[in-house]
Structure 1
Amino acid sequence: MPRPRTLSDEQLLDMVLGLVHAEGPDAASFGAVSKISGLSGSTLVQRFGTKAAMLRACLLRAWDRLDMETARLIQSVPTTPAGAIDLLAGLSKDYGDDATSYAEGLLLLREDLRDPALRARGAAWGKTLAAALDRCLHAEGTQRPLGRLTLSQWQGCLLWWGFEPHGSIEHYVRGELKQFLETTDQASAT
């Protein structure tokens, strides 16, 4: 009879994710995870097989959490341009207000882009967000599909905030997106 698990996969993957956020993806070795979890290296090998498989499982767990938060925010915001800004500002809160930790988080993006399964999750998330933004931006009569363009603007403003982290990231995102949406309205009026 197998021994009962002292940590669920979810608990363990959350520990790995904490380590990855704090020290980067390369820090997620079996030895380091063994140290923070109290599980032996051989137990980790039995669960995941390889370090790469453990990291992928960890990042898929992170995508699951992001998908749930995204769905929650989509349901909670009005389908207006202000709702589009609320949605993206709400998602920005997870980046924190420290440019150094934001930069460390970009190492996760590197892993997402390297792994086909993770890259597919990112692409699906982008389509979900773009569709939600289109609904918000169509609510006031515009028939232009601005969702993907707004999503690209959001990602760009996150990067620019990283270079000049003045104030909270949420405040910065709100200001940049408000200016962007006002500009697109003026451009469509001419």
Structure 2
Amino acid sequence: MPRTKTISDASVFATVRQMLATGGDKAVSFAKVAAATGLAAPTLVQRFGSRDGMVRAARQAAWEALEAQTADAIAKTADKGPQALLKAIGPVDAAAIAADLRDPDLAQRAAAWRATLESALSLRLGTGPKARETAALLFAVWQGQAIWDATGASGFRLKDAVKRLT
């Protein structure tokens, strides 16, 4: 009979994502994650098989959370404009997304997420090619803003970009 998990996979994944954000791929090892979570390194090996398996599982879990957050935001802002949708999703870790693009499966997931979000933005902007083009530009502006916000640099306000593009 397997033992009950005292520390959830979600907690392990949060630790792994934090390590990735602060130190990159090289910052994650079974020993470091074990020290940070209080789990034994062999327990992590048993759960995830390999260090790469643990990192990949953490990244997959982050995408699942972002996809759920996006679906929820789309539903909650169905009668609102594009700015309300992007604000409802909240800040995203653009650096993590960029790192995930090295994995073909995660890159495909990122492309599907982007298409979903651009489609939802487009519906809020009207119909036709102009709405789709504006939605793509808003997505790019929003992601660019996320990168600059992470550096602490002052940037533009999203509502200003929405006004200029619509």
The reply to whether TM is greater than 0.5 is yes
TM-score, normalisation: structure 2 = 0.82
RMSD of the TM alignment (CA)?
2.5
Q: Deviations over 1:154-178 (max 9, x none)?
A: 22344455677227xxx72222232
**Residue 142 of structure 2 corresponds to residue 154 of structure 1:** yes
Compared CA separation, residues 132 and 5, structure 1 to 2 (3 A): same
Partner residue in 1 for 2:86? 88
Answer yes or no: is the 8 Å Cα contact 2:148–2:154 preserved in 1.
no
- Percent identity over the alignment is 34
Which runs of 5 or more residues in structure 2 are unaligned? none
**Closer, same or farther: CA 163–130 of 1 in aligned 2, 3 Å:** same
Unmatched 5+ stretches in structure 1: 96-104, 182-190
Query: Contact 1:112–1:118 (CA<8 Å) still a contact in 2?
Result: yes
- The answer to whether 1:120 aligns with 2:108 is yes
Measured in 1, the distance between the counterparts of 2:116 and 2:77 equals 15
Q: What is the Cα deviation at residue 18 of structure 1?
A: 3.0
Name the SS of the counterpart of 2:91 in structure 1: helix
Q: Deviations over 1:93-143 (max 9, x none)?
A: 345xxxxxxxxx61x2343111111111101101110110111111xxx53
Distance change in 2, residues 1:161/1:110 (3 Å)? closer
2:11 matched to which residue of 1? 11
CA radius of gyration, larger in = 1
